[in-house]
Amino acid sequence: MSDQVLVADDGAVRLIRMNRLEKKNALTQPMYEAMTRALGEAADNDAIRCIMLAGAPGAFCAGADIGEFLESAQSGGLRPKTVEFLHALARNQKPLVAAVGGLAVGIGTTMLLHCDYVVAAATATLATPFSRLGLIPEAGSSLLAPKRMGHARAFALLVMGRPLSAEAAREAGLVNEIVDAALVDQVARKAAQEIAALPPGAIAVSRALIRGELDDVVKRIDTETMLFRERLQSDEARAAFAAFLSRKK
């Protein structure tokens, strides 16, 4: 499964690339584990000063793997590797740059709330269809999205499930730059290198001040996880999953 998450260091920048193209980079438990490990190793390496998250042209991340997601619904909770990744993302101390080359769904969108600089393709779309499945936001997004976007925009995205175009995401404060799809990686890498070239101590303190209390984010992730588990067992979620499965047949 290691080939589904590619990790490479280019000077002071660590690239973590989701590489399950046939499934639009839908995340599996081994992928969550590999990404958590890559973040942890970067944290222990002083030579790494910035981390870049990337997918592929057309698909950044389509969310959680639907097969595993359905199994989670039956077992009654998010799987441990998923929660470990969310904690690692929240506690990560290195600046995060994201290269969003296309579709970003569910956690593909909510993980961007933990990023410091986001480059998106002009054709990218961000969506979080939680409520349609009878579920709730995750990854600390119920705390981070209103802070970043304001209540009105966060409600439309996270609760109503209205997708955001790249331009709308930039207006909402989720995206820094919009470029042609072919240039997403190049522009994101340039931003990561620019960040990595700055004094790391000053960057670390400034980033910590901007982000605020990490314990609050981790606590919100844990609260969301608990409520997510409850929602998976709800009649609404069961009906939504049954409807989804009937469409797949």
Identify the structural domains of the chain with CATH numbers, from first to last: 2-183+196-200 (3.90.226.10)
Q: What is the pLDDT of residues 66-119, one digit of tens each?
A: 777 677 666 656 678 999 999 999 999 999 999 999 999 999 999 999 999 999
Q: What is the pLDDT of residues 4-53, one digit of tens each?
A: 999 999 999 999 999 999 999 999 999 999 999 999 999 999 999 999 99
Per the DSSP assignment, residues forming a β-bridge with 144 are none
Give the phi and the psi of residue 79 in degrees, each rounded to 5: -75, 155
Sign for the CA dihedral angle at 21, 25, 31, 36 comes to: positive
Other beta carbons within 10 angstroms of residue 145's beta carbon come to 26
Give the phi and the psi of residue 244 in degrees, each rounded to 5: -65, -45
For residue 98, the surrounding DSSP H or E stretch is strand 96-100
Candidates 36, 175, 156; CA nearest to 100 is 175
CA 136, CA 236: separation in Å to the nearest integer?
12
Other beta carbons within 10 angstroms of residue 246's beta carbon come to 8
